[in-house]
Amino acid sequence: MVGQLEKLLDGPTVSQAVGQNAVKVISGLMEGDSAALSASANRLIRLVDNLGLKLVVSGDREILSSNSLVLAVRTVDGTNFLETSVTIYNTDNVQFGTLSRSRLQRSGAALGSVFLPSTLTASLSPEQQQQASRVQFTFYNRSALFQDVTLNNTVRVSPVLSSSVANLSISNLTEDIRFTIRNRPIQENFSASCVFWNFTMNGERGGWSPAGCSVVNVTAEETTCSCNHLTSFAILLDLSRKETIDPQHAQALTFISYIGCGISAIFLGVTLLTYLSFQKLLREIPAKILVHRCMSLLLLNLVFLMDSWLSLHSSKELCISTAAFLHYFLLTSFTWAGLEALHMYLSIVQVFTPYLSRYMLKFFLMGWGIPLPVVIITLSVSDTYGLVTYGKYANATTDDFCWLKSDIAFYVGVVAYFVVIFALCLLVFIIVMVQLARIKRQNPQNQLPNRSVMHDLRSIAGLIILLGLTWGFALFAWGPLYLPFVYLFSIFNSLQGFLVFLLHCAVKENVRRQWRTYLCCGRLRLPENSDWSHTATKKNRNQSLITVHSIVQPFTRRKASLTSNGTNISGTVFADSGASESSNSDVALNELHRRTLSRQVHRGWRETTEKAALSSGCWN
């Protein structure tokens, strides 16, 4: 019978008489055995939706009703949409009107009602507004078509009410749509849940999903529901911007993103307080870069956490401001990761680089200044920031998020910027890996006896996190790989602040020493001179190299300084940014720095000797 109905309604239009007969047939089926309908339920639901799209409407409205099903269609002007409502008192009494929201809420005798605001079509393109020529409302007085095999017999489903506008995906609403459904008689100790119908659950048979929905208020007469925005951290670099995702995965990604960002925000704050409170930790340039990077990541996490909540407000200016700040802090996070890579290259590869005056000031201006014109230019172009549709789920619902609306602005102002920074970080990573492999191959006798493959893997993982290469998971989130890489992206990048805390605080000996000296008591407390003795020993160990450099400098005319701006041999980017001062990662990286420095010093000493010999006439 379902197959015959599909053939009957297959034409471009459906007359009122044929439509009424189809509604009666479907209503009759709904009164039958729900188990027998389960295999064809989704097809019947789609039949009703298609009937509303094809129904010939005489005048401005058409209502098809039966015992268990009501289909009401009203013609509208999508370019100048007026607020409207429909109230269903019973299957034979359906009223259209322009009831206000407050009056609609007082219509308690109704079985169901829907209020549509005048801003419903504001977010549609001009072409879509032309298509939005009708609104249809469907009321299922019986839930026979919406049977979830995973629910037990104690679960009762209320009548089902739906609304659509010419089969278009409506989003970016500044005023919410209100659905009110009268509860069936219920027991005293009932528990209400808010759910939506997901066509893809239970082997394409459909099922009720609570993903993102929660109960706001419940009485014996009605239940008020709120569905949260399901937004994962991956939206910031969702290169496809087109992929659909199952609501259950969307919920899991949302939990991962918000829990991860919350944890990261806490530990980024601890990292900042640690380095700002103990000035001994801020003597080195890498530590100063770390502070700015942590500040950027902290602000990025905080704005992201507030974005979905702020997008619920009806203020367009607030949403634009939120999106602009989110864009700016995302770019500054990329920039500071790139500057960390640049400083690593200058410290490890170009040891005797020309001295740069006001080194940290220039990094500060680049880190916070370079992203600024990108955001200002994007703001100057109209309609680039605002509410965007995110999470196109299999049940045709969407969520909104304050972000870049324009695809061109997103790909130029975010993706292109990220690719440049990522290429720089990846290049530095490859150079460091090649240098480490060369040292390990040329000097196997100097390797630690207990060093294993796992030690090397931990060193590589630390360097990947240090350079922010985990953002690169976004580059592989395409097609069949979209979902797994979105999970990887959300996990590693929402927890990036926590990983930074582990690398720069939890496992670093000098940071733990500061904690034990000034924050601990009893046996855990260290005397204040313990930190001075450790530092003095390291300075004495490096004194000979500094002396050699002071001799080489006048002859080579290289304005290099190992101690300028707080940068010294022991304070390289690896010593201050690695996993631990005594960890395998730092041993390997510091070995690379030491050997590079030794080659540079040896070359400079040889040049000095040759020039000294020539000046005294002793050279053959």
Residue pLDDT, tens place only, 453-467: 667 777 787 788 888
User: What's the pLDDT score for residue 104?
Assistant: 40
| 145 and 167 together in one domain | yes
Specify if 191 maps to a domain: yes
How would residue 231 be classed by pLDDT, with cut points 50, 70 and 90?
Answer: low
What CATH number does the domain containing 480 carry? 1.20.1070.10
Hey, which residues does 165 pair with through a beta bridge? 135
| pLDDT score of 540 more than 50 | no
Specify if 546 maps to a domain: no
Tens-place pLDDT, residues 306-330 = 887 787 665 778 889 999 999 999 9
Task: Give how many domains the chain has, as a whole number.
Answer: 2
Answer positive or negative: Cα dihedral of 152, 158, 164, 170: negative
Worst-scoring range by mean pLDDT, 165-169, 513-517, 546-550?
Answer: 546-550
| 216 and 266 together in one domain | no
Specify if 614 maps to a domain: no
| pLDDT score of 533 more than 50 | no
Residues whose CB is less than 8 angstroms from the CB of residue 519 and which lie 6 or more positions away in sequence, other chains included: none
User: How far is the CA of 10 from the CAs of 4, 13, 48, in angstroms?
Assistant: 10, 8, 12
| 253 and 216 together in one domain | no
Tokens of 121: 């079509």
Specify if 409 maps to a domain: yes
Listed residue (284, 281, 367, 278) closest to 331, CA to CA: 367
User: How far is the CA of 293 from the CAs of 159, 289, 336, 491, in angstroms?
Assistant: 53, 6, 6, 19
| pLDDT score of 24 more than 90 | yes
Angle between helices 359-369 and 285-311 (to 10 degrees): 20
Residues whose CB is less than 8 angstroms from the CB of residue 320 and which lie 6 or more positions away in sequence, other chains included: 379, 385, 386, 402
Specify if 84 maps to a domain: yes
| 300 and 346 together in one domain | yes
Specify if 448 maps to a domain: yes
Of the two residues 527 and 449, the one the predictor is more confident about is: 527
How would residue 612 be classed by pLDDT, with cut points 50, 70 and 90?
Answer: very low
User: What's the pLDDT score for residue 573?
Assistant: 40
Residue 441 carries which DSSP code?
Answer: H
User: What's the pLDDT score for residue 69?
Assistant: 92
User: What's the pLDDT score for residue 552?
Assistant: 37
Measured between alpha carbons, how far is 467 from 89 in angstroms, rounded to an integer?
A: 63
How would residue 254 be classed by pLDDT, with cut points 50, 70 and 90?
Answer: confident
Residue with tokens 């006001």: 358
Specify if 557 maps to a domain: no
User: What's the pLDDT score for residue 310?
Assistant: 80
Of the two residues 138 and 162, the one the predictor is more confident about is: 138
| pLDDT score of 107 more than 60 | no
Listed residue (248, 246, 202) closest to 38, CA to CA: 202
Q: Which of 162-176, 196-210, 334-348, 351-365 has the highest mean pLDDT?
A: 334-348
| 433 and 309 together in one domain | yes
Of the two residues 310 and 378, the one the predictor is more confident about is: 378
| 209 and 323 together in one domain | no
User: What's the pLDDT score for residue 249?
Assistant: 79
Measured between alpha carbons, how far is 146 from 24 in angstroms, rounded to an integer?
A: 18
Indicate the Cα dihedral angle 595, 598, 602, 608, nearest 10°: 150
Helices H, strands E: what count in the chain? 22, 16
Of 227, 258, 292, at which residue does a domain stop?
227
| pLDDT score of 108 more than 60 | no
Specify if 576 maps to a domain: no
Residue with tokens 């010093």: 601
User: What's the pLDDT score for residue 619?
Assistant: 37
User: What's the pLDDT score for residue 203?
Assistant: 65
Measured between alpha carbons, how far is 68 from 131 in angstroms, rounded to an integer?
A: 30
| pLDDT score of 559 more than 50 | no
Listed residue (238, 231, 342, 220) closest to 289, CA to CA: 342
Percent of the chain with pLDDT over 70: 67
Measured between alpha carbons, how far is 227 from 215 in angstroms, rounded to an integer?
A: 9
| 19 and 163 together in one domain | yes
- Mean local confidence (pLDDT), 233-251: 73
How would residue 71 be classed by pLDDT, with cut points 50, 70 and 90?
Answer: very high
| pLDDT score of 21 more than 90 | yes
User: What's the pLDDT score for residue 425?
Assistant: 92
| pLDDT score of 241 more than 80 | no
pTM, full prediction: 0.59
> Do 254 and 391 form a contact (C-beta atoms < 8 A)?
no
| pLDDT score of 486 more than 70 | yes
User: What's the pLDDT score for residue 36?
Assistant: 84
User: What is the bridge-based pairing of β-strands 392-393 and 244-245?
Assistant: parallel
What CATH number does the domain containing 209 carry? 2.60.220
Measured between alpha carbons, how far is 265 from 294 in angstroms, rounded to an integer?
A: 9
User: What's the pLDDT score for residue 350?
Assistant: 67
User: How far is the CA of 502 from the CAs of 101, 256, 328, 374, 496, in angstroms?
Assistant: 52, 19, 26, 32, 10
User: What's the pLDDT score for residue 522?
Assistant: 67
Measured between alpha carbons, how far is 219 from 42 in angstroms, rounded to an integer?
A: 30
Over the chain, what is the mean pLDDT? 75
Tokens of 593: 């720095």
DSSP per position, 23-63: HHHHHHHHTS-HHHHGGGHHHHHHHHHHHHHHB--STTEEE
Task: Compute CA 10 distance to the chain's CA centroid, rounded to the nearest angstrom.
Answer: 42
- Mean local confidence (pLDDT), 227-249: 69
User: What's the pLDDT score for residue 232?
Assistant: 66
Of 227, 257, 285, at which residue does a domain stop?
227
| 223 and 322 together in one domain | no
Tokens of 13: 């239009």
| 223 and 244 together in one domain | no
> Do 41 and 83 form a contact (C-beta atoms < 8 A)?
no
Listed residue (577, 592, 590, 569) closest to 433, CA to CA: 592
How would residue 230 be classed by pLDDT, with cut points 50, 70 and 90?
Answer: low
Tens-place pLDDT, residues 141-161 = 888 888 887 776 556 667 888
> Do 394 and 200 form a contact (C-beta atoms < 8 A)?
yes
| 103 and 218 together in one domain | yes
| 83 and 155 together in one domain | yes
Measured between alpha carbons, how far is 194 from 288 in angstroms, rounded to an integer?
A: 49
Of 480, 498, 524, at which residue does a domain stop?
524
| pLDDT score of 536 more than 50 | no
| pLDDT score of 444 more than 80 | no
User: What's the pLDDT score for residue 332?
Assistant: 96
Per the structure, the complete domain to which residue 27 belongs is given by: 2-227
Coil, strand, or helix at residue 403? strand
Tokens of 343: 């400083």
| 218 and 262 together in one domain | no
User: How far is the CA of 323 from the CAs of 102, 327, 410, in angstroms?
Assistant: 32, 6, 12
Measured between alpha carbons, how far is 170 from 160 in angstroms, rounded to an integer?
A: 20
